[in-house]
Amino acid sequence: MSTVAPVFQGESPQSPPSYLKAGHTIKSWLLTGDHKRIAILYLIAVSVFFFFGSIAASMIRVELVSPRGVMLENDTYNKVFTAHGIIMIFFFLIPAIPAVLGNFLLPIMIGARDLAFPRLNLLSWYLYVAGGLCALLAMAFGGVDTGWTFYTPYSSMYSNTNVTLTIVGAFIAGFSSIATGINFIVTVHKMRAPGMTWFRLPLMVWGSYATSVIIVLGTPVVAITLLLVVMERVFHIGVFSPELGGDPVLFQHLFWFYSHPAVYIMILPAMGVINEVITCFTRKRIFGYHFIAFSSLAIAGLGFLVWGHHMFVSSQSMYQGMVFSLLSYLVAVPSAIKTFNWTATIYKGSVRFQTPFLYVLGFIGLFVVGGLTGLFLAAMSTDVHLTDTYFVVAHFHYVMVGGTIMGFLAGLHFWWPKFFGKMYPDNWGKLSALIIFIGFNLTFLPQFVLGYLGMPRRYHYYYFAPEFQFWHIASTAGASILAVGFLIPAVYLLWSLKYGPDAGPNPWGAKGLEWTIPSPPPTTNFVEIPVVREEPYAYDAEADEREERVPAETKR
Amino acid sequence: MSMKTEALQAAHGAEEQPLHHQFEELPQQNESYVVGMWVFLVTEIMFFGGMFLAYVLYRWRYSEAWFEAHTKLDIPLGTTNTVVLLTSSLTMALAVHFAQLRNKRLQLAMLGATIGLACVFLVIKAFEWSAKFQHGLVPGPNFTWEGLVPAPQAQLFYSLYFGMTGLHALHVIIGIVVIGVLALLTALDHPLVKNDFIPTELVGLYWHFVDIVGIFLFPLFYLIPK
């Protein structure tokens, strides 16, 4: 029985053209209201920023090969790591999954023709690009040296670099994020197809919804905070600077009130992707649907109560630190619920080791390492030792990069045939997944050791401890492998657009409304709005075998 | 599908509201816009919230200096402005009311009245601010303070005074522009707003939010108790 929609709405002579063929002019792309086209615009823009951010990362890793530094002056090094942080966080990790995969899939997954506000959606892309250009211009013409955190009073009173323009860029990009968040919330509340109840929503939608709640509540706070920094910098309206009567720790409170939840803006959508992929490639229903759905909301809620763990050594009171430490431990509970449920889903599943699933396994591995090392940092006594060392760097790369990039690539490989109707070579996909996993661990595992031994972050040399060189060289070698791992998918995915075999509407034999429409989907998604009659992830491995509905892996 | 067709037919037949392509029926469309506006207002509350937090922190820490600093504000002007702002909320609510009744003439009159009151508010605010400039109470290198309490603490009061009332005034200006565009489109029977009271209602929600912020700002800055 076909699951969610009564009839497969395949291509027929009178079916509407796909969204890719709905217009061929550049204008038809740049003025589109179609959530799918906007997702593709985002995919292109996000990839460009990822490229720039990666170049900055490579410069950091090359610099640290030698104890006295290789090529960069100390000022330049400060600008490079700042550029790396700002580009990767504000312009890659935060928008990557919601704005690309979420934009494309969220309306289709709930059975809608578009997001509730298509023009707002387009505006969000333009804001994103405008913000990104501001930041890139600031970096091209002199750079910024504050670190991505813009700590006051250095950023507001002392730094002689392009802080204002960079902050304007981040500020504008924040409103792009807010626009997406509002759009997703309204769409999930008001645009669900008949029968698509809250507990029939794919868990990716739950993840995107929880993310949107964080965006809507958190982003405005960092926006006003950055605005106050600019006002202090430009007009000397003092709020944070002690010489003007202000309190710099207030900046840290306001900044981390957003920027800690921002980590969950990056990871929650990735977790959503994992649910979709893991069920398809184990041919099983998700284990503990309700627990996963509510753990997303729990992470979103708890995420707002833990910002103080970034400030254990910032002069906040010890009792405040204890409360934040305890609350930070609590975040481990919903995270563990998810991880255990995914593991239980794999257990006794008919696992098919194809590219998206390899990325899922990578995600679980890296996220567990990143999450557990987070507990070290949430404990005040160890944090005092590890603050501002490479241990912190390794930890947040495991969570944010390991989690988000693995989730992004898993989703991109899973839905690529839906995006473009073309299949990529699975063997190359598997190879690159393996290379990325190995490269990632080789890059960041040594950094845990470095941090434990006392290597401070944001230093461009370590001649005081030449014995660190071994670990730094290992890390740089890993980064090189990682770069190769990222280049391979870029090549074969682009190759597949022209030469890949047609994927058909449902190459994975997956459930979910997006697989009931043609690939690539028509502009209005559905000829007729479907009526949902079944729970999500209604996989049945035995029925698959009986009906041989699942194409053999080797064919692709 | 059938519902959409009916709605479309109804739209053509009886001059109903237009239905946008992404929606299936009119109630869904109307509710989506209203929910979207409320979510946007939540982001606005958080946006102002950062400044309110700074206000709470410093007023609690420098309460004596802030009491001294606030005595230089003009309470009669502030009170007048609050009344003006509240009255503009009334005219805005009436504009929504007449939009629902499809009484275009009165709707436009009320929108015009709202714009007028908002301009009065800005003019009074400008007088207040220029007085502060003359008295050297603007934060920055020219800030002058002759009192017993430390100057940086008093300056912080005026930093937040200008920051928060400035951000509020910016919202009033945006409101004037948005109401003006709405009035213009309504007068021209533009398809975006024709037979559709939702745009007026959304602008109304925004305007009431701006008013509420003003209502909080007035006592926080003008009426600090000893």
Q: What is the CA radius of gyration of chain A?
A: 23
As a whole number, the mean pLDDT across chain A is 93
CA A305 to chain centre: 21
Please compute the mean of the pLDDT values over residues A452-475 and round it to a whole number. 95
User: Going by CATH, does the domain composed of A30-548 fall within 3.40.50.300?
Assistant: no
- Name the band, by pLDDT with cuts 50, 70 and 90, for residue A51: very high
- Does B11 score more than 80 pLDDT? no
pLDDT given for residue B19 in this prediction: 87
Residue A502, classed as helix, strand or coil, is strand
At the topology level, CATH places domain B25-222 in Four Helix Bundle (Hemerythrin (Met), subunit A) (1.20.120)
Which chain A residues contact residue B46 at CB under 8 A? 216-221
Q: What's the full length of chain A, in residues?
A: 556
Q: How would DSSP label each residue in chain B?
A: -HHHHHHHHHHHHTT-----TT-SSHHHHHHHHHHHHHHHHHHHHHHHHHHHHHHHHHHHHTHHHHHHHHTTS-HHHHHHHHHHHHHHHHHHHHHHHHHHTT-HHHHHHHHHHHHHHHHHHHHHHHHHHHHHHHTT-SSSTT----SSS-HHHHHHHHHHHHHHHHHHHHHHHHHHHHHHHHHHHHHTT-TTTTT--HHHHHHHHHHHHHHHHHHHHHHHHH----
Q: What is the pLDDT of residue A90?
A: 96
**Per-residue pLDDT at A545 exceeds 90:** no
Q: What is the pLDDT of residue A385?
A: 93
Residue B10 has pLDDT above 90, yes or no: no
The token duo for A288 is 């503990």
Residues from chain B contacting residue A524 (CB–CB below 8 Å): 21
Band (pLDDT 50/70/90 cuts) for residue A549 is low
Q: Does A514 touch chain B (CB under 8 A)?
A: no
B165: closest CA of chain A, how far (Å): 13
pLDDT class of A509 with cuts at 50, 70, 90: very high
Measure CA A90 to chain center: 10
Asked whether the predicted pLDDT for residue B2 surpasses 70, the reply is no
Q: Average of pLDDT values for A131-159?
A: 94
Instruction: Determine, for residues A221 and B36 on separate chains, whether the beta-carbon distance falls below 8 Å.
Output: no
Determine the Cα–Cα distance for residues A101 and A117; give it in Å rounded to an integer.
17
Please compute the mean of the pLDDT values over residues A125-143 and round it to a whole number. 96
Q: Locate tokens 């499809």: which residue? A: B102
Predicted confidence band at A550 (pLDDT cuts at 50, 70, 90)? low
Query: What pLDDT score does A555 carry?
Result: 44
Q: Which amino acid makes up residue A4?
A: V
Q: For residue A405, give both structure tokens.
A: 């990039």
B-interface mutation test, from A221, A222, A252, most B Cβ less than 10 A away: A221
pLDDT value of position B138: 87
Long-range pairs, B116-119, Cβ under 8 A, ≥24: B117/B84, B117/B85, B117/B87, B117/B88, B117/B91, B118/B88, B118/B172, B118/B175, B118/B176, B118/B179, B119/B176
> A186 and B39: CB-CB below 8 Å?
yes
**Taking Cα atoms as reference points, which of A199, A282, A271 lies closest to residue A510?**
A282
A157 has a pLDDT exceeding 60: yes
Cβ atoms of A174 and A219 closer than 8 Å: yes
Both tokens assigned to B91: 């005219």
CB proximity list for B188: less than 8 A, separation 6 or greater: none
pLDDT band for B112, please (50, 70, 90 cuts): very high
In whole angstroms, give the CA distance from residue A259 to residue A226: 12
Partner B contacted by A230 (CB < 8 A): no
For residue A39, what pLDDT is reported?
Answer: 97
Domain boundaries, chain B: 25-222
**Is A116 an 8 Å CB contact of chain B?**
yes
The CA distance from A72 to A83, in Å, is 14
> CA nearest A205: which of A192, A215, A222, A219?
A192
Q: Is A389 helix (H, G, I), strand (E, B) or coil?
A: strand
User: Is the predicted pLDDT of residue A24 greater than 70, yes or no?
Assistant: yes
B11 backbone dihedrals φ, ψ, rounded to 5°: -60, -40
Going by pLDDT thresholds of 50, 70 and 90, the confidence category of residue B9 is very low
Q: Do A114 and B57 touch (CB under 8 A)?
A: no
Measure in Å the smallest separation between the Cα of A175 and chain B Cα atoms.
Answer: 10
User: Token pair of A454, please?
Assistant: 């006392």
A542: pLDDT confidence band, cut at 50, 70 and 90?
A: confident
Average pLDDT over residues B151-180: 95
What percent of chain B lies above the pLDDT cut of 90? 76
Between the alpha carbon of residue A78 and those of residues A147, A368, A392, A512, the distances in Å are: 7, 31, 18, 47
Asked whether A302 and A330 are in contact (CB, 8 A), the reply is yes
The span from the CA of A289 to the CA of A202, in Å, is: 9
Q: Point out the residue among B31, B43, B155 whose CB comes nearest to the CB of A178.
A: B43
How wide is the angle at C-alpha B30 spanned by C-alphas B24 and B35, nearest 5°? 115
Write down the ipTM of this complex: 0.91
Q: Is the peptide bond before A153 cis (omega within 30 degrees of 0)?
A: yes
Look at residue A14 in the predicted model and tell me its pLDDT.
Answer: 58
Q: What's the CA gap between A352 and A553, in Å, rounded?
A: 8
| Cβ–Cβ under 8 Å, residues A291 and A336 | no
Instruction: Give residue limits of the domains in chain A.
Output: 30-548
Tell me which H or E stretch contains A546.
helix A541-547
What is the distance between the alpha carbons of residues A214 and A259, in angstroms, rounded to a whole number?
A: 10
Chain CA centroid to CA B14, Å: 35
Nearest to A459, CA basis, from A383, A382, A385, A390: A390
pLDDT of A65-75, one tens digit each? 999 998 889 99
Q: Name, in order, each residue with C-beta under 8 angstroms of A433's C-beta and a sequence gap of 6 or more.
A: A355, A358, A359, A362, A409, A485
pLDDT at residue number B103: 93
Nearest partner of A106 among A94, A123, A118, judged by Cα: A118
Please provide the DSSP assignment of A286-297 as one string: PTTHHHHHHHHH
**Average pLDDT rounded to a whole number, residues A491-496:** 96
Question: Given the structure tokens 């400035």, which residue do they identify?
Answer: B166
Round to whole Å and give the CA distance between B56 and A245.
15
**In this predicted structure, what is the pLDDT of residue A548?**
60
pLDDT of residue A531: 95
Q: What percent of chain A has pLDDT over 90?
A: 88
| pLDDT at residue A364, as a whole number | 96
Nearest to A151 by CA among A259, A285, A274, A75: A259
**pLDDT class of B48 with cuts at 50, 70, 90:** very high
| Of the listed ranges A263-272, B4-13, B105-114, the one predicted with least confidence | B4-13
A contact test, residue of B4, B32, B57 with most A CBs within 10 A: B32
Q: How many CA atoms lie within 13 A of B90 on its CB side?
A: 7
Please indicate whether, in this complex, the C-beta atoms of A237 and B159 are within 8 angstroms of each other.
Answer: yes
Q: Dihedral sign, CA of B17, B21, B24, B28?
A: negative
Mean confidence (pLDDT) of chain B: 91
Residue-wise DSSP of A391-431: HHHHHHIIIIIIIHHHHHHHHHHHHHHHHHSB---HHHHHH
Rg (CA), chain B: 22
For chain B, what percent of residues have pLDDT higher than 70? 93
pLDDT for residue B217 is more than 60: yes
The pLDDT > 70 percentage for chain A reads 96
Tokens 């204002």 identify what position? Answer: A164
CB contact under 8 A, B22 and A529: no
Residue A350 dihedral angles phi and psi, to the nearest 5°: -90, 85
The answer to whether B96 and B200 have CB atoms below 8 angstroms apart is: yes
pLDDT at A235: 86
> Tens digit of pLDDT for each residue in B133-161?
998 898 888 888 888 888 889 999 999 99
∠A281-A282-A283 over CA atoms, to 5°? 95
